[in-house]
Amino acid sequence: MLWTAVKDANLLLALLLELAVYASAAWCAWTRTGRRRLKPLTALAAVTLLATVWGTFCAPAAAHPLHGPARAAVELAWYAAGLAALFAAAPPARRRTLAAAFAGALALSTAIGHI
């Protein structure tokens, strides 16, 4: 019973981490784009690119699911892109804190998922 609750909580954490990657990419694209008209388009493009990669290779109902080391490499690159976007978009005083929180939550979720 307790293990089921832990697995359910981990699924929620994994979902929140996925959403954080999308939010980080959108935030980074929004803050890095100079022209006001391009901000929504670049944010949408960043999220669409990440969603396409995730949906094609890593989602539970992926069109071309990867397994083993290939999946691990794509997931690592995908989450690293989200972490890099978060680090780039965050104010300098909060970069380390936000990046550490994201990386810690990801490490916890990955560890629980592999138990």
Per-residue pLDDT reduced to its tens digit, 42-86: 999 999 999 999 999 999 899 999 999 999 999 999 999 999 999
Residues in the chain: 115
C-alpha–C-alpha distance, residues 87 and 99, integer Å:
6
For tokens 């290779």, the residue is 57
CA 95 vs CA 15, 84, 88, 92, 102: distances in Å = 22, 10, 8, 5, 11
Asked whether 113 and 14 are in contact (CB, 8 A), the reply is: yes
Report, as an integer, the average pLDDT of 23-43. Answer: 92
pLDDT value, residue 1: 81
Please state the pTM of the whole predicted model: 0.91
Distance of CA 23 to the CA centre of its chain: 8
C-alpha–C-alpha distance, residues 40 and 55, integer Å:
22
pLDDT value, residue 99: 92
Per-residue pLDDT reduced to its tens digit, 3-21: 899 999 999 999 999 999 9
